[in-house]
A = this chain, B = another copy of it.
Amino acid sequence: MNGQMMSAPLLISSLITHAARHSGDVPIVSRRIEGDIHRTTYSQLHDRARQMAHALGGLGVQAGQRVATLAWNGYRHLELYFAVSGSGAVLHTLNPRLHPDQLLYILDHAEDQVLFFDLTFLPLVEAVAGRCKTVRHFVAMIDKDKMPASKLPNLLCYEDLIAAQKPDFVWPTFDENTASSLCYTSGTTGNPKGVLYSHRSTMLHTYASVMPDAIGISSRDCVLPVVPMFHVNAWGLPYSCAMVGAKLVLPGPALDGKSLHELIATEQVSFAAGVPTIWLGMLQYVEQNSLSLAPLQRTIIGGSAVPPSMMRSFEDGYGIEVIHAWGMTEMSPLGTVCRLRQKHLADPLDVQHARLEKQGKAVFGVDMRIVDPQGADVAWDGKSQGDLLVRGPWVVQSYFGPDGAQPLVSDETGAQWFPTGDVATIDADGYMQITDRSKDVIKSGGEWIGSIDLENVAMAHPAVAMAAAIAIPHPKWDERPLLVVVRKPGTEVTREELIEHYKGKVASWWVPDDVVFVDAIPIGATGKMLKNKLREQFKDHRLPGV
């Protein structure tokens, strides 16, 4: 017997209609590639999104077809979020940091019909335009008077498209399982794989992410998503901010410390979201110039493990709460967020800090397991490590396309789980901590060494700007850790001093066998260190005593 409540599908268009109706005058502030600061509101953005939805129809985009973007965080990109998905097409956000060949592969694989791009990426678009098979229109997201001279075929101006339409588009109603958006993983091996989100998965993720124990934003917040809208929908913030009617500040291409600091100060940003590497830059800038970060109250950091030293800088130096989160493209992306429970508030401060360094608890809707190589559950004791499996309504079922792999594994009850590729512990209170990517694991004498732990210890040294611990083959122990370090400008530290620095902080057999200094560690398209590149680079490194 069914309940007798209204059947109302969960649709992304409801986010912008709700925001326009209930928070119509709330500002959306963007730093544009035109160079200026642009201001609009949810109500105006709703109008323009509806104009753009008309324009998409005019370009022949049909329900289910993919519309690609190559764009920074800005109001036009946000308009496309609602115009494309809201009208029943699929928003395909491309990562501009990918190699042109990978981009071409993705464009063809997704069969994108239209490509919207910021001018920054004109050279990239020109490099692939002649070769991609399905794109029929290229649209420059720029004011009319700044349209570039380009030989791109069918090059259109975003503002022309908008100007030609009325804001009277009526958002269609359809099945909530309809595809809404597409994002490819930045697979370090093999071809990138597409994750095809649905309206339902996106809306449930949005509801869940807004909870006080998750991202926890409200209509009293001013939110700065530094995390890019081209990667996993900027952790869903374009959606969740519309849901609660929060002011949005979109940083455009300027992700340097100075530009971010300026936005935080002038726009009174209360909540920011980004990956650790971005915040490293901003903290350095703010420190060097003895600036304040006054309006900022909370920042959510994920994408890679947050070094504890960064947490302390934010909290002790600036009184900013750091919220550690974990997720992945295949999870829309939110999996866990680290928040203290009531009973933890009575713990000594250092115990609280240690807990907050974990990746945190499953957001309601996500189920987690850690398993051994045989697939048996590993104890939730905060010590035993296992492969992390997840499931839930915003977790991938299969990858996009006819060749789309089905990544799930079944448990003994037949339930299906997504193997994250992360290795983790979970404690009795349900707090998960990533110890490694399974492919980055260092296995010494049959036992795991946590590379993230080793990196966090290194990062706590005042002279270390960035550090990666990688496995080097070893005749006796199979593998031993090598620490690869980037020094902070103007500082000195030796191999011996760093090895000494580990004493008492980790088990003695965890201490790296060697340290090498480099100018830079390669960073991938989504801000993560490319350890496979490092392993390649140091594959012939000779450890001392070998």
A→B interface (CB under 8 Å): 1-8, 10, 18, 21-23, 25-26, 63-64, 90, 175, 177-180, 195-201, 204, 207-208, 210-213, 216-222, 243-247, 332, 339-343, 345, 361-362, 364, 367, 391-400, 404, 416, 418, 429-430
Contacts and interface: CB of A to CB of B under 8 A. Distances in A.
Given A2-B177, A200-B3, A26 B207 contact: no
Contact of A212 (B8, B244, B361): B244
A286 B392 CA distance: 46
Nearest to A342: B220
Contacts of A361: 22
Nearest to A415: B173
A246 B343 CA distance: 11
10 contacts: A1-B63, A2-B177, A3-B196, A4-B399, A5-B394, A8-B393, A23-B429, A25-B343, A211-B244, A247-B342
B210 A219 contact: no
A218 B207 CA distance: 14
Nearest to A202: B3
A404 B247 CA distance: 44
A470 to B, nearest CB: 33
Contact of A396 (B4, B204, B211, B392): B4
Given A213-B218, A244-B212, A342-B219, A392 B2 contact: no
Nearest to A362: B22
A179 B3 contact: yes
Nearest to A395: B6
A220 B210 CA distance: 16
A258 to B, nearest CB: 26
B198 A5 contact: yes
Which of A207, A342, A416 lies at the interface centre, i.e. has the most chain B CB atoms within 10 A of its CB? A342
A208 B221 CA distance: 18
Top 9 closest A-B pairs, CB basis? A3-B198, A22-B430, A1-B64, A212-B218, A207-B207, A5-B201, A8-B393, A4-B196, A219-B341
A115 B1 CA distance: 20
Given A210-B211, A219-B342, A341-B26, A244 B393 contact: no
Contacts of A195: 4
Given A4-B398, A342-B222, A21 B179 contact: no
A22 to B, nearest CB: 4
A177 B2 CA distance: 5
Contacts of A26: 341-343
A484 B351 CA distance: 59
Given A208-B207, A211-B211, A364-B244, A341 B23 contact: yes
Contact of A393 (B5, B220, B342, B404): B5
Nearest to A331: B5
B22 A396 contact: no
A63 B362 CA distance: 30
Nearest to A218: B212
B7 A397 contact: yes
Which of A213, A246, A400 lies at the interface centre, i.e. has the most chain B CB atoms within 10 A of its CB? A213
Contacts of A2: 175, 177-179, 198
Contacts of A177: 2-3, 7
A201 B22 contact: no
Which of A1, A198, A207, A246 lies at the interface centre, i.e. has the most chain B CB atoms within 10 A of its CB? A1
Given A26-B341, A220-B345, A364-B243, A6 B416 contact: yes
Given A4-B179, A25-B429, 18 more contacts: A1-B63, A1-B90, A2-B177, A3-B197, A3-B200, A4-B198, A5-B201, A6-B395, A8-B391, A18-B362, A22-B429, A26-B343, A204-B207, A207-B364, A211-B243, A213-B244, A219-B342, A246-B342
